[in-house]
Amino acid sequence: MKKNKKNTQQNPTITVNRKARYDYDLGDRYEAGIVLQGTEVKAIRNGQFNLTDSYAQITDGEVFLIEAFIGLYDHGNRANHEPKRIRKLLLHRNEIRKLERTVHSKGMTLIPTKAYFLGSNVKVELAVAQGKKLYDKRDKIDREQATREIRSYT
């Protein structure tokens, strides 16, 4: 007799920061855990998580996620969380040191690119990024438009 196993990894991706690829040149990526309150996890399961315009910052050997929006939980009471509070990210000490050296020496920043479930835990993918100039963005748009036109003619 076959046992039916629940597939908890069916759609683990919660949200993707599409604006990050447009505004930044993304480099190395790191997986980080995130410290959340109970109502935040419930709101994330309802799909109320947005990484647009958020970034990570290293302060005193700890990494924090800033400006990430987690909507209020519908059935939360007075113990509901603040939507844009600063949240701590969990990384290994060696990863934090490496990130700190990279960010401070080269003038780069940490941008969250996506959030997903790994089992019952919420993980955030951080990318070391460097901001694009306006002319780089325009050039990329022109190249993509040209390739679309070439594909449409063939």
Residue 69 covered by a domain: yes
Question: Rounded CA gap, 27 and 104, in Å?
Answer: 15
The pLDDT assigned to 8 comes to 47
The pLDDT assigned to 10 comes to 55
Which residues on adjacent β-strands are paired with residue 15?
Answer: 115
Residue 102 covered by a domain: yes
The length of the chain in residues reads: 154
Question: Rounded CA gap, 130 and 9, in Å?
Answer: 32
The pLDDT assigned to 22 comes to 83
CB-CB contact of 111 with 17 (8 Å): yes
Residue 135 covered by a domain: yes
Q: Block means of pLDDT (10 residues each) for the chain, length 154 residues? A: 50 83 88 89 88 91 92 80 89 93 86 90 91 80 89 83
Give the CATH number, domain containing residue 91: 2.40.280.10
* Helix or strand holding residue 63 (H, E): strand 62-66
Which residues on adjacent β-strands are paired with residue 131?
Answer: 24
The pLDDT assigned to 83 comes to 84
Number of domains making up the chain: 1
Residue 7 covered by a domain: no
Residue 111 covered by a domain: yes
CB-CB contact of 126 with 29 (8 Å): yes
pTM score > 0.75 for this model? yes
Q: Which amino acid is at 136?
A: D
Domain that holds residue 39: 13-153
> Which of 70, 5, 78 minimizes the C-alpha distance to 42?
70
Residue 8 covered by a domain: no
Residue 149 covered by a domain: yes
> Which of 44, 45, 46, 68 minimizes the C-alpha distance to 55?
68
Residue 74 covered by a domain: yes
The pLDDT assigned to 1 comes to 45
